[in-house]
C-alpha cells in the first residue's frame, strides 16, 4: 500500500494536466478491471461488476494543486498563477517540478513584509540567466507541482499530493480486493480530473454514468493538531463518513447506510463535518435530476501543503468499507428508508 501511495503521490498531475498520473492509475487498474476508458475531459473510468446491476459511481480525483506560468521576465524568472486553493506562505522556499522534469526554486522579493506575502512577489527560479534561456525550457501556460518524495513515519505517511492520490490508492486497493468476487452492482471507479479548480471532471463523469448511488473518496481536515479548531475528525480513528462540507450535505440515507455497514463489518469509522472545503460528491449529487450521494474521507493534516500527513489505518478502513459497499446488492429504497 505504501509503495502505491508513494508512486501516486510523487507523480506529476496539476489540474488539466493529469496524463502522467492517469497512466499510472490505468496501469495499476488494468489487471482487475472489466472495462477501462478515458473520457473527453480526461477522467479515467474503470468499470467492474454486473453490467445489468445498479450503477455505483465512486470518484477520487487524480489532479493536485499546481502553479501555471504566466510570464517570463527579462532575467529569466517565472511569474505564476495558482491552479487550486493555495496560500502564498506555503510556497516560500519550496521546490517545484514541471512535466519535463525541470525543477525550480520559489523565491520571494521584496522580503521586508513577510507576514503579508502575496502571490505577486513570488517567482520561480529555474536557474536561467535570461528570458531566452528560460523560454527554451518553459512557456507561459506550462504547469508545475510540488517536488517532494513520500516518507513514512510509523503508521503515517507524509507526501505532496495525498490530496487525493491517497484516495486513488484506496480505490485501486478496493478494485484489487474485489477481483474474483461476484459483484451484483455495476461499479464505476472514476479517477477524476480538475477537482481542485471546481469539481469539473466528476461533473461530466456523473452525467455520463447516471449512477443510482454516488460516492467521493477524498481527504478531509483533522482537528487533532496543537491549536486546531475543534473538529470531529482525527488521524487513525477510521474512515470518515461525510455528513457535510462547504460543497454539499450528503444524502442522509447514504450516511446512515455507510455507518450501518461499518458497524456490521467492524470497520473503524468517524463522522466528518468539514466547515471549509469541498469534493467531487457535490458535483455528483447535482447531476441530472439528482443522485443519492455520500463521501468517505481520509483525515489529513496540512492539506494543500507539500507535507500532507495521513494515517495508513484510516486508508485501510476506507478500503474495507468500499469493498463492503460494492459487494452488497444496492437497495436504494432501503437506503431511502433509513
Binding site for Co ion (CB under 5 A): 163
Q: Which is nearer to Zn ion, 163 or 316 (CB)?
A: 163
Alpha carbons 227 and 221: distance in angstroms, whole number: 13
Work out how close the CB of 196 gets to Co ion at its nearest, in angstroms, rounded to a whole number: 5
Give backbone dihedrals phi and psi of 156, rounded to 5 degrees, phi first.
Answer: -115, 155
| Binding region for Zn ion (CB under 5 A) out of 79-87, 162-170, 287-295, 329-337 | 162-170
Q: Based on the shown chain and the rule CB under 5 A, indicate whether residue 316 belongs to the binding site for Zn ion.
A: no
Closest CA to 119 of 148, 164, 84, 152: 84
Cell of 110: 521584496
| Binding region for Zn ion (CB under 5 A) out of 82-90, 211-219, 234-242, 294-302 | 211-219
**Strands 186-192 and 55-61, bridge-based pairing:** parallel
218 binds, among Zn ion, Co ion, none (CB under 5 to 8 A by kind): Zn ion
Q: Which of 28, 63, 142, 218 binds Zn ion (CB under 5 A)?
A: 218
Alpha carbons 98 and 66: distance in angstroms, whole number: 10
Please, which residues bridge with residue 151 across strands?
Answer: 158
* Contact status, residue 229 vs residue 236, Cβ threshold 8 Å: no
> What is the footprint of Zn ion within residues 296-315 (CB under 5 A)?
none
Q: How far is CA 239 from CA 229, 299, 310, in A?
A: 20, 8, 12
Q: Based on the shown chain and the rule CB under 5 A, indicate whether residue 163 belongs to the binding site for Zn ion.
A: yes
**Strands 213-220 and 55-61, bridge-based pairing:** parallel
Residue number, nearest CB to Co ion: 163
Alpha carbons 334 and 106: distance in angstroms, whole number: 53
Q: Which of 10, 63, 142, 164 binds Zn ion (CB under 5 A)?
A: 164
Active-site positions read 195
63 binds, among Co ion, Zn ion, none (CB under 5 to 8 A by kind): none
Work out how close the CB of 235 gets to Co ion at its nearest, in angstroms, rounded to a whole number: 17
280 binds, among Zn ion, Co ion, none (CB under 5 to 8 A by kind): none
* Contact status, residue 156 vs residue 309, Cβ threshold 8 Å: yes
Work out how close the CB of 174 gets to Zn ion at its nearest, in angstroms, rounded to a whole number: 18
Work out how close the CB of 259 gets to Co ion at its nearest, in angstroms, rounded to a whole number: 25
Work out how close the CB of 218 gets to Zn ion at its nearest, in angstroms, rounded to a whole number: 4
Chain residues in the site for Zn ion (CB under 5 A): 163-164, 218
Amino acid at each position: 500500500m505504501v509503495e502505491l501511495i508513494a508512486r501516486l503521490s510523487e507523480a506529476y498531475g496539476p489540474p488539466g494536466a493529469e496524463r502522467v498520473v492517469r497512466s499510472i492509475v490505468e496501469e495499476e487498474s488494468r489487471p482487475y478491471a472489466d472495462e477501462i476508458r478515458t473520457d473527453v475531459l480526461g477522467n479515467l473510468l474503470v468499470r467492474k461488476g454486473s453490467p445489468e446491476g445498479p450503477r455505483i459511481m465512486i470518484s477520487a480525483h487524480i489532479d493536485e494543486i499546481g502553479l501555471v506560468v504566466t510570464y517570463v521576465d527579462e532575467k529569466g524568472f517565472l511569474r505564476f498563477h495558482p491552479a487550486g486553493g493555495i496560500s502564498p506562505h506555503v510556497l516560500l522556499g519550496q521546490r517545484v517540478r514541471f512535466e519535463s522534469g525541470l525543477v525550480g526554486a520559489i523565491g520571494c522579493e521584496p522580503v521586508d513584509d513577510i507576514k503579508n506575502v502575496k502571490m505577486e512577489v513570488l517567482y520561480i527560479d529555474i536557474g536561467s540567466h535570461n528570458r531566452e534561456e528560460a523560454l527554451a525550457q518553459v512557456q507561459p501556460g506550462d504547469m508545475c507541482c510540488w517536488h517532494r518524495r513520500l516518507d513514512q513515519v510509523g503508521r503515517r505517511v507524509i507526501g505532496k499530493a495525498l490530496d487525493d492520490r491517497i484516495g486513488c490508492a484506496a480505490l485501486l486497493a478496493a478494485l484489487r480486493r474485489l477481483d474474483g468476487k461476484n459483484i451484483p452492482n455495476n461499479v464505476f471507479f472514476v479517477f477524476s480530473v480538475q477537482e481542485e479548480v471546481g469539481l469539473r471532471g466528476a461533473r461530466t463523469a456523473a452525467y455520463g454514468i447516471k449512477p443510482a448511488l454516488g460516492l467521493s473518496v477524498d481527504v478531509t481536515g483533522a482537528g487533532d493538531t496543537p491549536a486546531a479548531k475543534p473538529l470531529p475528525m482525527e488521524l487513525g480513528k477510521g474512515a470518515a463518513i461525510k455528513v457535510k462540507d462547504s460543497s454539499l450535505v450528503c444524502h442522509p440515507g447514504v450516511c446512515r447506510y455507510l455507518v450501518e455497514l461499518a458497524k456490521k463489518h467492524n470497520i473503524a469509522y468517524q463522522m466528518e463535518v468539514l466547515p471549509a472545503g469541498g469534493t467531487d460528491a457535490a458535483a455528483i449529487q447535482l447531476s441530472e435530476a439528482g443522485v443519492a450521494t455520500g463521501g468517505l474521507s481520509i483525515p489529513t493534516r496540512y492539506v494543500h501543503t507539500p507535507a500532507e500527513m495521513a494515517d495508513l489505518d484510516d486508508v485501510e478502513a476506507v478500503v474495507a468499507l468500499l469493498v463492503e459497499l460494492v459487494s452488497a446488492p444496492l437497495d436504494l429504497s432501503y437506503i431511502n428508508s433509513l
